[in-house]
Amino acid sequence: MATSTPGAPASTGSPTAPGSSLREGLELAGRQYDYWATVYKRTWKGSVVSSFLVPLLYLAAMGIGLGTFIDSDVAVQALGAAPSYLAFIAPGLLAATAMQTAIFESAYPVLGNFKWTKVYLSMVATPLSVTSVLIAHVAYVVFRIASTSAVFVAVIALFGLVDSVPAAVGALVVATVVGLAHATPVFAYSATIRDESSFALLFRLGLIPMFLFSGAFFPVEQLPGQLEWFSYVTPLWHGVEATRMLVLGSIAPGWMALHLTYLLALLVLGWWLAQRAFRRRLSD
């Protein structure tokens, strides 16, 4: 191998300065707006209904149904700042739903664009760069997370559980960050696997345990020692805690900083891995 192999080891980076390549990436990502807008136009009706129904059903069944059953002085004491089980579970579910939306949107659609529809392949045959393709799709997922979270926040507000606009906006922003922190690593995962059966692993060992054991439904202090520690390392626990603080209006700045740092670190790591995986798969 006398000659260099540009791009073959995908981690070697591009010859241009990082700043200019990011700007170029954003400019090229903008050219994909029409594509994602068209995709959204074809799917939004179904997603709007479900993004409204899901929080409504959860809050009615668990918040009110289960809540009435378990709301006792002893139980409410364990819920910290939350005055009721409904108030406790609502922000938890907001964060958990953001995670769920993020993971689903970053799983099959990403693999499909490599494997079935090959949308990414036709994109990189044009002047679009690999990074810009990733930026545009992630931006679309951010939009999906933010829009479903906005509906969720509105439903929580309907239940009278958010008392200020800044709290609502803050909860929406943090829920979107929670989603994005899960989306970028899943983008990397979906860009690496060859077969969709690998998603079963992600859903069963990642999504479901996190959904159940990250403090959305009960305070994780209730869990036996090791499980409690499992909760603390899951990104969703940090997301649930941060979202809850905002909705309940009782923010502990130190904890908030820790939660957000954890989520942002995961987001950045996921982005780096996703970019590497996309480069490997699209320019081999």
Partner 1 sequence: MSAADDLPVEGPLIRARGLVKRYGDFEAVRGIDVDVHAGEAFGFLGPNGAGKSSAMRMIASVSPVTAGELTILGRDPAKEGPLVRARLGVCPQEDQLDQELSVRENLTVYGRYFGISRAECRSRADELLRFVQLTDRAGAKVDDLSGGMKRRLTIARSLINQPDILLLDEPTTGLDPQARHLLWDKLFRLKQQGVTLVLTTHYMDEAEQLCDRLVVLDKGVIVAEGSPAQLIAQHSTREVTELRFGVGHHEEMAAKVEDIGERVEVLPDRLLLYTHDGEAATAEVHARGLRPTSVLVRRSSLEDVFLRLTGRSLVD
Residue closer to partner 1, measured from CB, 175 or 277:
277
Give the angle 78-81-85 at the CA atoms, nearest 5°.
Answer: 60
84 vs 123: CA distance, rounded Å: 50
Residue closer to partner 1, measured from CB, 32 or 100:
32
- For every residue of 114-153, DSSP letters joined together read HHTS-HHHHHHTTT--HHHHHHHHHHHHHHHHHHHHHHHH
92 vs 185: CA distance, rounded Å: 21
First-last CA distance in the chain: 16
Burial category of 116 from C-beta neighbours within 10 Å (exposed 0-12, middle 13-18, buried 19 and up): exposed
Token couple for 100:
């769920």
163 vs 167: CA distance, rounded Å: 7
State the minimum distance, in angstroms, from the CB of residue 219 to partner 1.
Answer: 43
Interacting residue ranges for partner 1, rule: CB under 8 A: 1-3, 5-8, 15, 31-35, 38-39, 42, 117-119, 121-129, 282-284
State the minimum distance, in angstroms, from the CB of residue 214 to partner 1.
Answer: 33
Residue closer to partner 1, measured from CB, 94 or 123:
123
State the minimum distance, in angstroms, from the CB of residue 1 to partner 1.
Answer: 6
Instruction: For residue 124, give every residue at least 6 positions away whose Cβ sits within 8 Å of its Cβ, in sequence order, or none.
Output: 130, 133, 282, 283
State the minimum distance, in angstroms, from the CB of residue 124 to partner 1.
Answer: 6
Residue closer to partner 1, measured from CB, 9 or 166:
9
Residue closer to partner 1, measured from CB, 182 or 279:
279
Residue closer to partner 1, measured from CB, 137 or 182:
137
State the minimum distance, in angstroms, from the CB of residue 138 to partner 1.
Answer: 17
State the minimum distance, in angstroms, from the CB of residue 206 to partner 1.
Answer: 27
